[in-house]
Amino acid sequence: MKVTQKMKFAFMMLIMLIPIIGVLAQTDSTLVVIDPPGDIVDFVVNFDVFMASLGGLAVASVFLSGLINGLLKVVKSWVKQVVSWVIPIGLAFLATYVLKLGFLVDQPVLNVVIYSAAAGLVSNGIFDIAFVNAFVNWAVGKLGGTTK
């Protein structure tokens, strides 16, 4: 059998996935299932619950992005994605620095940006919360911060 460039490339890609498997295989007991809000009143009343974890921030981002996209009748996919990126960043900074609540209160600005960008990945449907949480904990740990 002749080894081609494509086969070498595929093998190298599989080798590069091995460290990621270790991150994905870890279990995290801090992940809590949060039901999405039923309406805007439920969202406002339980805002502190949604800001208590990365999963809650992601759920709130998905809810608000869908609400805003529906109210503004957004049809272009790139506009929907922009809204899904701006909402979690805005929510994280609002909760952390204006309302002083949530899991990011004692975190530096860089950690708030990392966590809110991670919630944007979830709200855009790119990754699920378990993968994003493991990746964020790894990234924040490498930067010398404290993970939540």
pLDDT tens-place string over residues 37-69:
888 888 889 899 889 888 889 889 999 998 998
Domain that holds residue 130: 5-142
Number of domains in the chain: 1
What is residue 32's predicted lDDT score, i.e. its pLDDT? 59
Confirm whether 148 is domain-assigned.
Answer: no
pTM of the model: 0.71
- 62: tokens are 């998905």
Confirm whether 87 is domain-assigned.
Answer: yes
Confirm whether 147 is domain-assigned.
Answer: no
Confirm whether 75 is domain-assigned.
Answer: yes
List Cα–Cα distances, 76 to 81, 82, 83, 120, in angstroms: 9, 10, 11, 18
pLDDT tens-place string over residues 90-132:
999 999 999 999 899 988 888 888 889 888 888 888 888 888 8
- What's the N-to-C CA distance of the chain in angstroms? 50
